[in-house]
Structure formats: C-alpha cells, structure tokens
Amino acid sequence: MALSFSCNQKVYLYDGSFEGLLNIVFDCYVQKQIPSRIIEEKQYIPNLLDTVEIYHTDYTKADRIFHGILKSISYQTLYENYYAFLANVPEKEMSILLYLLNGFSIGPKINTMLSLDFVFQVHSLRKKMLSEAHKLKGLLRFKEVGDNLFYACIHPTHNVIENVGQHFVRRLPHQNFIIHDATDRGLLFLYNTHQYQIQSDKNFMVPTISEREKEYQQLWKTFFQTIAIEERKNPRLQMQFMPKKYWKDLVELS
Amino acid sequence: MEIEKKLKILADSAKYDASCSSSGSKRTNHKDGFGNADVSGICHSWGADGRCISLLKILLSNACIYDCKYCVNRCSNSIPRATFTPREVAELTMNFYKRNYIEGLFLSSAVIKNPDYTMERLYETVLLLRQEYHFHGYIHVKTIPGCSKELIDKLGKLVDRTSINIELPSQTSLKLLAPQKEKAGIIAPMQYISQQIHTSSQEKSKWKEKFVPAGQTTQLMIGASPETDYTIMTLSESLYKKMHLKRVYYSAYVSINQDALLPALPQPPLLRENRLYQADWLLRFYGFTVDELLDQNHPNFNTLLDPKCDWALRHLEKFPVEVNTADYATLLRVPGIGVISAKRIITARREFHLNFENLKKLGIVLKRARYFITCDGKYFDKISSFQESFIEENLLYLERASTPASTYIQTSLFDTFLPTKEDKIKSLTGAF
C-alpha cells in the first residue's frame, strides 16, 4: 500500500528542470519528509504564510535518483514521469514526487496501481503530453527559408519540442531545420544534418520565406480546399480534430 | 497545363475515396533517403468536411475509358481532364513531404487505354519516387481491376498499402451500374495479393522487400444501390476472414451524376455510414459476428441507437456484468467500455477492488456503461431499475443529446427530448 510520509508544510522552489525535481526526490527520500508544495522558482508568488526552501540543483544527487529509478523501479516509471514532467500543468511535481517515493518502496508494481491518485495523475499527464506531441508531428509546417534550410513555428501547450524534433531528425536527416517553440518557453530545436541541439532564445527573429516556398504554399492551399467534399461539410468535426489554437501556424488556414 | 490546375482537377477527382490512413507500416529511412513510415499513422490536417488529410490523394489521370454510372470520372461526363507525368507527381510529393504537409502519397488513376497500361504508369511513378528520389515514406497505390499478376508483384514490393475498390456490394448492382467491370476482375487480384502477403510473411528470408507491409483495403459505396446493411456487413466479414483485409471503408454515396438507375439522394446517408463503421469496429476489435448484430428480420441498423447498445438491449440476459470478475471478452461487450477501458480495468483490478468511484477515477466513461455493470454486486441505481424500458429510455436520451441536431430533426423549445412511443416501438422492431 501507499507509503505515508510526514509533511513538513514547506514550499520547495526549484529551477524548473527535471534534474532539479529529482534532486528534491533524493532529499525527501533521505529525510523521509515531503513538502506541501513544489513549484518552479520563476512562477512562485511569495506568500506570508509559506516557509520557503530554495533548491539549487545538485547533479550528482539527481544522477543517483535517475539510475536508482532504472535499477530498483523500472524503465517504464522513468518514461511515465519524464513525459509527465514535460506537461504544462501546475502541481504536477507533487504527483511525480509521490510516484517515485512510493515506487522505491513498492517496486515496478507501482506502474499498475492506477487507483492511487498520483499514479493515475502521472499517467494521464504523460498521455496528454504525448498526444499533443503526436498531433504536432502532423500539424507542424516547415517553411523553406534558405538553401535546404527549413523553419517551423509551433505554439504547443506542453513542452513537446524534444519529442517532436527527434521525430523529424529520423524522418528528414538530410535537411537543416529549426523548430521554434514561440510560446513563453522560447525554445529552439536546431538540426544541422549531423546533430541536434535545444536552445533557449526568447528574441528569435522569424526568417523570411523564399519565392519557391510561396509557390508550394499556394499548391498546398489549392489541394486542401479541393479535397474536401462540399456535400459533407462539417466544420464542427474539423475543429474537434484540429483545435483553433493550432490554426495560426498552419499554412492552409492562416 | 499549369501544375496548379492539374492538381485541382486530379485532387477533385480523387476526393471520393474514403481511405486516408497511413498506419501499419514500419518502413525505416535509409542512409541517403528521405522519410519513414510511422506505425500508428499521422494525420497532417483535416479538411472542411472533417475528414483527415494524411496522404497526397490524387489521380495520375482522370481520362477514363469506363462509364460506371456512379463515378464522377465516367467517360460520358463532361468535366476537365488532366494527366500528371510521373515526374510531376514525384516533385509534388517530395516538396510536400519536406514541408511536412503529408505523410506520403495515395496514387490512384482512372483507366487509361487498358488496365495494364494504367498499372504500368502507376508503377513507373512509384519506382521513380523510391529509386531516384530515395523516398521511404508511405505510399498507397490503387490496384487496377483486371491488370496482370506480374505488375501486381512488381508494385507490391515498392508500396506500403494497396487497395481495390469493390464499390458495389452485390453482383447485380455491379452489372447494372458498372457494366464494364467484372466481379472476377476485382476479386481475383485481391485474392492474389492476400496470398502474396501471406507467403512473404511466411518465407521472410526469400523476400528482400516485404510485400505490401500495411496490407490491402477496399471501399464499399453506401446508398447508391439497394443492398441492406446485413448484406454489406456479411460481405465485409467475409473479406476480413477470407482476404485478411486491413480495412473496409464505407463511403456514403454523394449524388454527383444524374441517371435513371441511380437514386437522387438529397444528402449523403452519413448516419448510415456511421452505423456501418461502428459495426465494422465491433467485428474487428470486439469479437462480434454479423449474425449477432443483424439478421434477415432486422436487416438494417437501428438509426436511434449504436449497434453495440442495440445488441446489449436485445440481450439483457447477459447483463449486468460484474467488473471485478468478468473476463476481457465479456467486458468488451459492455456498451461504453472499449479496448482501452477494458484493458485498464483488468490492470487496475489486480491491485484494487473496483467500485464506481474507482472506475470514474480510472477515466472509464460510465455514461452508457453504468446501466450494464455491477461493482461488487452493486448496481448504480436500485437493482429493480435494471429493466429494458428504463435503460432504453436513458440510452436514447444520451444518443439524442450527443448527436448534432441536423442529423435528426431541428430541435426546438417545444420538442420533447424523450422518445415518443412510436420511436420505442421502432427501435425494438428495427422497422423503418
């Protein structure tokens, strides 16, 4: 059954990285105590009643937890929690913390204990994040901005850029490309036909597109409009599959 | 002719084909190549009709020698005609693919000159894409009825999926509406492809390339000919069993041609198409047989209830099902519980006893399911409510609330939402 840890009523602030969170997991495991909240330092609004503790990521501790998960729990646990971590949902940190702490005492069986709230929560966050990533693998549009250089802009809810980027590295290995997460995260996925890199850049200038690009955009719009059957028109269904929040980045709808 | 004009004509001619999926193939990229196939398939956009766009769906040519009554491209129609060259198709595919507009190519063609000639042109195009452009994305190619086996063999090694559309679900309709096509010309290549797929998967070492790795599909047209749902579903079932098809698509007939032999439908029969798809899923993933769903006395699906609910209401003796003990196959037959929910229940109940609260937490939708299950012997309501009339009334209410008003009658303030007495009798007898 689920372990009960004593709660020290503190608020832990961390740097917003997965390693930072693993670092907290390490300390909670050692101290046998959990905080009442974990929140990213940037997003924290000070409150008179909170006792705050700021964590500076200790990578050796994070590394030990990382390998500990693989050794004493399972690969699936790491998979579920890492992708749940990338979901942009507040309060996700506590579910991940409880999942991992209980995982260390229960073992790989934790992955099937769906009626524990935090396990179900983590699994559904992972699902949310990966389903948006899957959707964007289809809805992302590259624009030619130079000789064999392509640029794509996305506005995802969750932090999907790594998962989506790796998909295109496998798919288009001979194409230089930039995927730009233009939300507040401001991330760039850069690939130069050999290796990729993820960078943070909030002031990235959107490059201008080539003449040839305009022709293909026009052809694509023509195809898109022609392929729909007038007699079956169903905008509600279209919107259900392709929510409006993605439209601004789509060539055929903007 | 300009490429844009051609694209407009040839996409317009191809749009009535319902098949759009890009799943089922694990084709990987090579060293110098472009693209790969994703086994779950990826949709890239959705058209104004809500259908997904995942492949560049075009005809190579729409200059047809046949005169099938239902077809937009029949030779007696006066529409603009166009033909792509293989290189034009390859350039379009590659450039759309590089921009991530599409998952691959769906190439079909009207019959030019004769079936073999047409098939050779298709082969030429695919060969160009695979060899010269090193394209390893998804390709779906239509097999032209009546073409030679050698061409099927050659093409099958290059493409991911192939399909031959049956369109008309009986031989009489075929004779009437597509007099130049023969049943044998459609069934024989289908059988041959199915055989080759089987052999290639059995003798892997002898086959360098997999033969049609994503399998073959077909399409049946709904509403252009008088066949009942029972006839159509029986045909689908035997296609799945005997030909091992991956999918049968159902396409509601859109009245494009004026002809004395064709019905003039004011609107395509979309609800009927939907019911057939629901039943098709029951055949493929839920372990149902057609004879359980329909019979000679009920040859058509209930328009008011989905096929699974309809079946469950007629077999209330099998319910309620106890979620904590029922096996997978039994759980799957509960309306509202699908493959994912059933698997989730089985995983979760190894560790915990399930009650209604837990089920909700697991994300099981109880809207329909709650009428058909018990948790630890408890029914969600008084057990005396477990009666046909009570369940039926509630299910019909749900169905109406979730279907867009336009499918039924426009609802107004004065409409009663509960079914009328007449509706109930209809839904029981299945007579419309």
User: What pLDDT digit, counting tens, does each position of A162-181 carry?
Assistant: 999 999 999 999 999 999 99
Q: Which residues of A touch B20 (CB under 8 A)?
A: none
Please report, for residues B141, B154, B159, B207, B242, the alpha-carbon distance to residue B198 in angstroms, rounded to integers and kept in the order given: 19, 16, 16, 12, 12
CB contact under 8 A, B344 and A124: no
CB contact under 8 A, A139 and B44: yes
What pLDDT score does A113 carry?
A: 86
Residue B406's pLDDT band, with cuts at 50, 70 and 90, is: very low
Q: How many beta-carbon pairs below 8 A join chains A and B?
A: 149
Residue B403's pLDDT band, with cuts at 50, 70 and 90, is: low
What pLDDT score does A178 carry?
A: 95
CB contact under 8 A, B4 and A218: yes
A110 CA: distance to closest CA in chain B (Å)? 10
Spatial neighbors of B56 by CB under 8 A, at least 6 apart, are: A223, B92, B93, B96, B101, B102, B104, B105, B106
Q: Is the dihedral of CA B342, B347, B350, B351 positive or negative?
A: negative
What pLDDT score does B261 carry?
A: 86
What pLDDT score does A48 carry?
A: 86
Q: Which two tokens stand for residue A29?
A: 């495991």
What pLDDT score does B203 carry?
A: 85
Residue B427, pLDDT above cutoff 70: no
CB nearest to A115's CB, from B11, B53, B348 = B348
CB contact under 8 A, B34 and A174: yes
Residue B358's pLDDT band, with cuts at 50, 70 and 90, is: confident
The predicted model gives B193-216 an average pLDDT of: 88
Q: Which residues of A touch B350 (CB under 8 A)?
A: 112
Radius of gyration of chain A (CA): 22
Q: Which two tokens stand for residue A30?
A: 């050692």
CB contact under 8 A, B100 and A223: no
What pLDDT score does B429 carry?
A: 64
CB contact under 8 A, A232 and B268: yes
- Give the helix/strand (H/E) hosting B363: none
Task: Determine which of A76, A106, A110, A114 to mutate to test the interface with B (most B C-beta atoms within 10 Å).
Answer: A114
What pLDDT score does B423 carry?
A: 64
Regarding predicted confidence, which is higher, B32 or B159?
B159
Give the span between the Cα atoms of B250 and B241, in whole angstroms: 18
The predicted model gives B388-405 an average pLDDT of: 77
CB nearest to B46's CB, from A113, A174, A238 = A238
The predicted model gives B182-189 an average pLDDT of: 87
Residue B409's pLDDT band, with cuts at 50, 70 and 90, is: very low
What pLDDT score does A171 carry?
A: 93
Residue B404's pLDDT band, with cuts at 50, 70 and 90, is: low
The predicted model gives B145-162 an average pLDDT of: 92
CB contact under 8 A, B50 and A235: yes
Q: Which residues of B touch A236 (CB under 8 A)?
A: 50, 404
**Percent of chain B at pLDDT above 70?**
93
Domains of chain B: 3-293 (3.20.20.70), 307-429 (no CATH)
CA dihedral of B132, B138, B144, B146, whole degrees rounded to 10: 90
Residue B393's pLDDT band, with cuts at 50, 70 and 90, is: confident
CB nearest to B36's CB, from A170, A223, A228 = A170
Q: Which two tokens stand for residue A107?
A: 């073992």
Q: Which residues of chain A have pLDDT under 50?
A: none
The predicted model gives B265-282 an average pLDDT of: 92
Residue B417, pLDDT above cutoff 80: no
Using one digit for the tens of pLDDT, what is the confidence trace for B105-123?
999 999 999 999 999 999 9
Phi, psi for residue B387 in degrees, rounded to 5:
-140, 150
What pLDDT score does B116 carry?
A: 93
Task: Determine which of B44, B136, B270 to mutate to test the interface with A (most A C-beta atoms within 10 Å).
Answer: B44
What pLDDT score does B339 carry?
A: 94
CA neighbor of B28 nearest in space, from B215, B209, B246, B216: B209
Residue B410, pLDDT above cutoff 50: no
Residue B184, pLDDT above cutoff 90: no
